[in-house]
Amino acid sequence: MTQPVRSRLVFPPQQSVTNAVLSPQEVEVRLGNTSIKGMGYHQGLLGPTLIANAGEQAQIKVQNQLKEPTNVHWHGLVVPADQDGHPEQLIAPSASQTYLFQIKQAGGLYWYHPHPHNLTAKQAYLGLAGLFVVRDPLEAKLNLPVDSQEAFLVLQDKRLENNALDYKPNQQDIMSGYLGQDILVNGQKNTQMQVFQGIYRLRILNGSNARVYNIAFDKETPFWIIGGDGGLTETPYPSKAVLLGPGERLDLLADFSSHEAGSSLKLISQPFKGVKTQGQQAFSLLDIQIEKGPIKPYLIPNQLATLEKIQTPQGTKTRSFELQGMKMSGVDAMPEMGHGSMMMPTGGNTIMRGMHTINGKTFDMKRIDETVPAGASEIWVFDNSKGDEIHPMHLHGAQFQIIQREGGRNSVFSHEKTRKDTVLLMPGEKVSIAVKFPDYKGKYVIHCHNLEHEDDGMMLNFELI
């Protein structure tokens, strides 16, 4: 009945955020048939899923057992600047830091990962990442699927051709991002998720360095988008496919009740247009095996959340961020995954750095690029209209609302109709967002969440004063 080569998908252990411990360390894990060296926040790739209730005080001790500095950024969480994992705030090897902050935001799926400049991409790629779930009472009232009917999925692409998880980007990798042809779900390869014939809540993180997924099912399966990065949408939106960039999250309800017990389907990435370097063919993300078993009946609610609109009256301060990547001949020839062609020869290439800029600048740890009054509401515009690369732009320190997307796909998509912290810009697109900054003061960053671009310097500081 089941495909013997696949093992059962395992979900990371859950840990309360009120007294959590993370231990960044080198790990050795079994992936498929081989043993692979990577990094984790516990003895395995990735880390525990941290669980918080809105209002709670988080206390998370991070003990660095690596041979290099690291730190932790709580992606999507609005925390004081000195707890945010700014690239300047490092934890030395053998040192520890206890992060303290209060959860002051809506229920949602957030995540955590390292943020030391020039090491973020490598450490995240090698396995340092984990989920951070915030629960709140309004969400609890909706009676959404829980326990075994709520599945957390971290999607990542890796290169495992040499039975290793090496991180050695060449020039083309820095341009397109470090793409791999092996898909890991929750840090595991060739797995299968068992479901019964009913409604499941799938909470998905694109935890890849650079890959965009066009998430869909390969067999007719009704599903509804119920949320994105920073919480629920106002209503469920029936959907067929969702384009999800690195760093973005997706909350959906999928109804498997029309599938027969014993059958299987796949969560896949569908081909998409707009860029030549990826998504040119469908590929499988996760096998889903339908089985007979006890299922709790759930309904698709009509109404989910009420989103307070961030007001941006006439005269609201607007800041523009022009995104740029240097055009490099040969990038267009970057092959798609699937034929072992992802491994580009590195032979003797010298690496040119600093090709990805925001407003013509690359990251300078000490330079303050924007000064913003704490508590202010502003309009920020990310402009990729002249760019020819994909840039998932991410803001620390706040959740924002998307006002509009001009050019390219020219619309705001269902999973974007909520609070966001990361927004995908395809080439030719310009996105305006409304942001209400917190009352915290201090230094935060904005950057491209293509982690190769970020480490290449596609990041700026802003200071709340």
Name the residue with the smallest CB distance to ligand C2O.
75
How many residues are listed for the chain in this entry? 465
450 binds, among ligand C2O, Cu ion, none (CB under 5 to 8 A by kind): Cu ion
CB of 64 to ligand C2O, least distance (A): 18
SS3 206: strand
- Of 121 and 193, nearer to ligand C2O (C-beta) is 121
Phi/psi zone of residue 348: left (φ > 0), alpha (ψ -120 to 50 degrees), beta?
left
- Of 288 and 390, nearer to Cu ion (C-beta) is 390
- Given candidates 190, 206, 450, 461, which one binds Cu ion under the rule CB under 5 A? 450
- Given candidates 17, 20, 91, 115, which one binds ligand C2O under the rule CB under 6 A? 115
- Of 406 and 463, nearer to ligand C2O (C-beta) is 463
For residue 179, give the nearest of 362, 388, 390, 394 by alpha carbon.
Answer: 390
113 binds, among Cu ion, ligand C2O, none (CB under 5 to 8 A by kind): ligand C2O
35 Cβ neighbours under 8 A, 6+ residues apart = 28, 29
Site string for ligand C2O, 36-75 (x = CB under 6 A): -------------------------------------x-x
Binding residues for ligand C2O, rule CB under 6 A, total 10
Q: Which stretch binds ligand C2O (CB under 6 A): 58-66, 146-154, 377-385, 442-450?
A: 442-450
- Of 415 and 447, nearer to ligand C2O (C-beta) is 447
CB of 405 to Cu ion, least distance (A): 16
Quickly count: other Cβ atoms within 10 Å of residue 7's Cβ.
14
339 Cβ neighbours under 8 A, 6+ residues apart = none
Site string for ligand C2O, 393-432 (x = CB under 6 A): -x-x------------------------------------
User: Tokens for 325?
Assistant: 């990547």
Separation of alpha carbons 86 and 117, rounded Å: 9
453 touches ligand C2O by CB under 6 A? no
Give backbone dihedrals phi and psi of 90, rounded to 5 degrees, phi first: -100, 155
For residue 258, give the nearest of 196, 202, 306 by alpha carbon.
Answer: 196
Q: Which stretch binds Cu ion (CB under 5 A): 31-39, 298-306, 343-351, 392-400?
A: 392-400
448 touches Cu ion by CB under 5 A? yes
Q: What angle do CA 200, 206, 210 make, to 5 degrees?
A: 160
CB of 73 to Cu ion, least distance (A): 5
Q: How far is CA 430 from the centre of its chain?
A: 21
Q: What angle do CA 318, 322, 325 make, to 5 degrees?
A: 165
User: Tokens for 459?
Assistant: 């990041």
CB of 267 to Cu ion, least distance (A): 25
Strand partners, 62: 22, 97
Footprint (CB under 5 A) of Cu ion, residues 250-279? none
211 touches Cu ion by CB under 5 A? no
- Given candidates 9, 42, 75, 277, which one binds Cu ion under the rule CB under 5 A? 75
């384009």: which residue's tokens?
A: 243
CB of 388 to Cu ion, least distance (A): 11
- Given candidates 86, 113, 117, 203, which one binds ligand C2O under the rule CB under 6 A? 113
Separation of alpha carbons 161 and 178, rounded Å: 14
Give backbone dihedrals phi and psi of 403, rounded to 5 degrees, phi first: -85, -50
User: Tokens for 118?
Assistant: 């020039």
CB of 39 to Cu ion, least distance (A): 19
447 touches ligand C2O by CB under 6 A? yes
Cβ(184)–Cβ(284) below 8 Å: no
- Given candidates 27, 453, 459, 464, which one binds Cu ion under the rule CB under 5 A? 453
211 touches ligand C2O by CB under 6 A? no
Query: What is the helix, strand, coil percentage profile of the chain, to 5?
Result: 10, 40, 50
115 binds, among ligand C2O, Cu ion, none (CB under 5 to 8 A by kind): ligand C2O
42 binds, among ligand C2O, Cu ion, none (CB under 5 to 8 A by kind): none
Separation of alpha carbons 44 and 47, rounded Å: 7
Quickly count: other Cβ atoms within 10 Å of residue 327's Cβ.
12
Q: Which stretch binds ligand C2O (CB under 6 A): 11-19, 140-148, 382-390, 444-452?
A: 444-452
448 binds, among ligand C2O, Cu ion, none (CB under 5 to 8 A by kind): Cu ion
CA distances from 269 to 88, 284, 376 (A): 36, 6, 39
* Residue 399: DSSP 8-state: -
- In the complex, which residues of this chain contact ligand C2O (CB under 6 A)? 73, 75, 113, 115, 247, 394, 396, 445, 447, 449
- In the complex, which residues of this chain contact Cu ion (CB under 5 A)? 75, 391, 396, 448, 450, 453
